[in-house]
A and B are shown apart, each in its own frame.
Chain A
Amino acid sequence: MAKDIGTSPDEVQFRFRDDEPVDHGTVTVDSALDQTNATAVRIEPGDDARLLLPFLDRLALIEVNFPSFGDGRGYSSARILREAGYTGELRAVGDVLVDQLSHMRRCGFDSFAPDTPLDPEDAARAFATWDNVYQAAADSRPTIARLRHEA
């Protein structure tokens, strides 16, 4: 049995889901590939998120670790998982800061477990930074270009 390595639900500061959080930790991508019963996985920046695609339907929690906020690979991992139809919890963990929240949310993250808890007011403002958006992303918001050409 691989050792649980992830955050606990207690460490989640923001969550945009109504279902019950997974009550145990996550395993590495390598372990998840070997263990047919794993339901919670943690992706590190160098991991290929696409390795998880064959068994997304048994996963309830995927954590994407940001050891350093400047390493943006996790944004691609998140979008790839959502593009493949993953509907479980997608949690950003690690060096998660106020000014990255809005982009993370757009890439499909729906829970956040920052290493250092964030000021809730600052975070609320950050989540609401953009009234509208230019790009299509994992949050399915209509883009500005689409809004411009709606009948």
Chain B
Amino acid sequence: MYLYDHYDQAMVDARVAEFRDQARRRLEGKLTEDQFKPLRLMNGLYLQLHAYMLRVAIPYGTLNSRQMEVLADIADKYDRGYGHFTTRQNIQYNWIKLEDAGDILADLASVEMHAIQTSGNCIRNISADHFAGAAADEVADPRPYAELMRQWSSFHPEFSYLPRKFKIAVIASAKDRAAMRLHDIGIRIVKRGNDSGGELGAQFYAGGGMGRTPMIAPLIRDFVPLDQLITYAEACLRVYNRYGRRDNKYKARIKILVHELGAAEYTRQVEEEFAHMLEQGVEPPREELARIAAFFADPPFVDAPKSIDRSNPAFDAWVKANTHRHKHDSYVSAVISLKPAGGIPGDATAEQMRVMARLAKQYSFDELRVMHTQNVLLPHVAIADLPAVWAALDAAGLAAANMDSIEDIIACPGLDYCSLANARSIPLAQRISEKFAATGKSAALGELKLKISGCINACGHHHAGHIGILGVDKKGRENYQLSLGGSEAEDVSLAKITGPGFDEDGVIAAVEKVTDVYLARREDGERFLDTYRRIGMEPFKEALYA
């Protein structure tokens, strides 16, 4: 994985010093709260319902055991012994004191980590396919491009006060495991021409997003040469910075600009700016991409036995559900579920983080990934090592065999933590996963992505859920709207609301009813989403409201 050189380290250290200075000036009254707020946000520090929340960047979700151990130490030292992994491959701490923030940033900097631009109206942490560098189906490892973009987007002098936040995801396979088209810019690395001698380039999608106005990003360029990647991104951002709406914070995301101009007109303006930017020499030298790519060379995989004893049914179920095909056939990628039945999606204790760190060191070439599904991945596990890995995970309460099942719920922090929320998400997720685990129905339902947001900002991706739940406030009571048919994957679509909302008990019963419709109506090999797309909303509505 990527390692800092003295330049990268100096940048992060400078940021820590800058933040300490800003905090001092805030305390001395030289900065008002209004002036300080965007500065602390650009260092990941939010003021939530009960305390400050610190969001730490995990660029493209990749980290090593030493970094995971420091995340565990921070949880113990400055928080309440746990952390929360997010849909954008970051980690959040919920109980931070403002006066500790500088020290935490310094602890992070000691292991090449930071909280830079994890919030604020700037370019956020770059995310990527969590199977990058391991998946059998990628044309290239997307992470070198993500790292190039991390450096370009960090402290960007022109794009630090954008109309609104800006999220970029990079993938490199036909499958989309990063919700790429629901990002402000989604980039897919593609190969043009034949397989052996094809040239790599980047497809650019612009103007996707969730929130209160969900949009799927249209393709604006089907091939950007990789030695023009930064220049093209710069052009996209400049058009947005100049013309994105600033009169209404709810219409300020690039999706609104692209929608109002039309994709063709936005593209025309970007192409014009791009032609101009090509003359300006903003692209890093080609050797820089090669330098970065060298850090992502394959670890020394070796041929090893591919068959193992799977007579233990619990182990067998876990291997079936939680391992993913690797490009080397002696290995798999192993998903560590942070979704135990009845648990809080994405939460891990410090002790669990240390277990994951130890397993990464021992069994996965010292590498971990944070997945956009709020799980953690051991990307390169020898098949022969799976029994040992599973046993250790099981002992730590980390062996739930439920990847992509209805128990693998994405949920935002909701009203338990978040100052924006209208309703609680976590207790609902806990009750649903508990219920389906208890009835044993999860396995029968197969792939079924349930996503819960506690307000219309949609941090729980409910628009992209096969089943989505949105918590709203209805005359002072929590009310939950159910929606069906969304997907964040390569078959991206936005979910549609079923009808009137439900109370907490009602929405749990409603989820059960729609899964029953699916079980009764599905045809061979159909997932819930496929059945919904074939039979439409009506049969589900009848079951819900008849």
Contacts and interface: CB of A to CB of B under 8 A. Distances in A.
Interface in B160-194: 160-163
Interface stretch (A5-13, A23-31, A122-130): A122-130
B281 A134 contact: no
Contacts of B10: 131-132
Contact of B282 (A71, A130, A136, A144): A136
B161 A148 contact: no
Nearest to B37: A70
A79 B156 CA distance: 12
Interface in A105-149: 106-107, 119, 122, 125, 129-137, 143-149
B87 to A, nearest CB: 26
B218 to A, nearest CB: 23
Interface string B133-162: 000000000000000000110111111111
Contact of B241 (A73, A98, A119, A131): A73
B284 interface: yes
A102 B157 CA distance: 8
A81 B164 CA distance: 24
A69 B32 CA distance: 13
B226 interface: no
Contact of A103 (B8, B121, B151, B157): B157
A131 B11 CA distance: 8
Contact of A136 (B31, B121, B276, B280): B280
B229 to A, nearest CB: 13
A70 B7 CA distance: 28
Nearest to A131: B10
Contacts of B155: 103, 130, 133-135
A136 B157 CA distance: 9
A95 B238 CA distance: 22
Contacts of B154: 134
A148 B14 contact: no
B42 to A, nearest CB: 9
A129 B14 contact: yes
A72 B242 CA distance: 8
Contacts of A87: none
A147 B280 contact: no
A52 interface: no
A144 B9 CA distance: 12
Nearest to A144: B7
B30 A119 contact: yes
Contact of A144 (B22, B151, B276, B280): B151
B287 interface: yes
B5 A148 contact: yes
A131 B155 CA distance: 13
B288 interface: yes
Contacts of B5: 148
B345 to A, nearest CB: 33
B197 interface: no
B500 interface: no
B38 interface: yes
A78 B164 CA distance: 20
Contact of B284 (A71, A102, A143): A143
Given A83-B276, A144-B151, A148-B7, A72 B241 contact: yes
B7 A75 contact: no
Contacts of B31: 97-99
Interface in A61-102: 69-73, 75-76, 79, 83, 97-100, 102
B80 interface: no
A103 B156 CA distance: 8
A79 B161 contact: no
Contacts of B159: 72, 75
A143 B283 CA distance: 10
A125 B151 CA distance: 23
Contacts of A48: 242
Contacts of B157: 75, 102-104, 106-107, 133, 135, 137
Interface of B: 5, 7-8, 10-11, 14, 18, 21-22, 25, 30-31, 35, 38-39, 121, 151-152, 154-163, 238, 241-242, 246, 276, 280-282, 284-285, 287-288, 291
Interface of A: 45, 48, 69-73, 75-76, 79, 83, 97-100, 102-104, 106-107, 119, 122, 125, 129-137, 143-149
21 contacts: A69-B35, A69-B161, A72-B159, A72-B161, A72-B241, A75-B158, A75-B161, A76-B242, A97-B31, A97-B35, A98-B30, A99-B18, A103-B160, A107-B157, A133-B155, A133-B157, A134-B11, A135-B152, A144-B151, A147-B7, A149-B287
Closest 6 pairs (CB-CB, A-B): A72-B161, A106-B157, A145-B284, A103-B157, A145-B288, A136-B282
